[in-house]
Amino acid sequence: MLEKRKSEHLHINLEQDVSFPDLTTGLEDYIFVHNALPELALADVDLATTFLGKRLRVPLLISSMTGGTPEAQRINYHLAEGAQVAGMAMGLGSLRAALETPGLRSTASLAVRSTASLAVADTFRIRHLAPDILLFANLGAAQLNAGFSLDECRRAVELVEADALILHLNPLQEALLVDGNTDWRGC
């Protein structure tokens, strides 16, 4: 079920017009004024910054998107290669798909990983392609109301050798999904 949903999300975004017809980012209201006498050398312009203790060459994050299907693995690999070259941070899609696969839910069962669980987890594993980037694992905060605890949060980070965890807060999306997690009490 999760694999089907992840694949659908990718195809909807790749094949359908998902942009808002009227709503914009508002960025069209801003125009950069050309500075004709900048008094600097372009080579001296340094966009580097430090975020969560990690150096980024550019203050950009590839937001959390995907994992859990073979297609998603290819996308994560390409994004990781790009992030490594550009020196930007990257988020992986929700690791729920990997954690809910038999054999990966708790630390104790690490040794008995089946090929199926390895395959799902591998669609999120990109460290071999991007050893230096700031990498975020990802889980839905709603999962904390559906049986996930600190152990699963740690597992998500360990599974992909991430530096940090993003907990996504998406009650509207969950409310619109057929089998969404709609219990946000005490989250």
Ligand X SMILES: Cc1cc2nc3c(=O)[nH]c(=O)nc-3n(C[C@H](O)[C@H](O)[C@H](O)COP(=O)(O)O)c2cc1C
Positive or negative: CA dihedral 65, 68, 74, 79: positive
Q: Note whether 57 binds ligand X by CB under 6 A.
A: no
What's the rounded Cα separation, in Å, for the pair 157 and 164? 7
Q: Output 28 or 46, the one with its CB closest to ligand X.
A: 28
Q: Which residue, 21 or 38, is less far from ligand X as judged by CB?
A: 21
Instruction: Examine residue 113 and tell whether it contacts ligand X (CB under 6 A).
Output: no
Question: Which one, 29 or 44, has the nearer CB to ligand X?
Answer: 29
Instruction: Look up tokens 């009227």; give the residue.
Output: 22
Q: Does 10 bind ligand X (CB under 6 A)?
A: yes
Which segment (38-46, 64-72, 97-105, 124-132) binds ligand X by CB under 6 A?
64-72
Does residue 9 bind ligand X (CB under 6 A)?
yes
Nearest-angstrom CA–CA distance, 137 and 92: 6
By CB under 6 A, is residue 95 in contact with ligand X? no
> Which one of residues 57, 113, 127, 168 is an interface residue with ligand X (CB under 6 A)?
168
* Interface with ligand X (CB under 6 A), residue from 79, 83, 90, 93: 93
| Distance in angstroms (rounded) separating the CA atoms of residues 1 and 7 | 10
CB-closest chain residue to ligand X: 168
Cα–Cα distance, 142 to 147 (Å, whole number): 9
| Binding-site member from 120, 166, 174, 181 for ligand X (CB under 6 A) | 166
Verify binding: residue 64, ligand X, rule CB under 6 A: yes
d(CA 4, CA 23): 29
Closest to 156 measured CA to CA, from 171, 174, 135, 173: 135
Q: What b/e sequence results for 70-109 when a residue is b if at least 16 CB atoms lie within 10 Å of its CB, and e otherwise?
A: eebbebbbebbeebbeebbbbbbbbbbbbbbbebbbeeee
Instruction: Specify the residue, 14 or 36, whose C-beta has the smaller distance to ligand X.
Output: 14
Which residues of this protein are in contact with ligand X, per CB under 6 A? 9-10, 13, 63-66, 93-94, 138, 166, 168
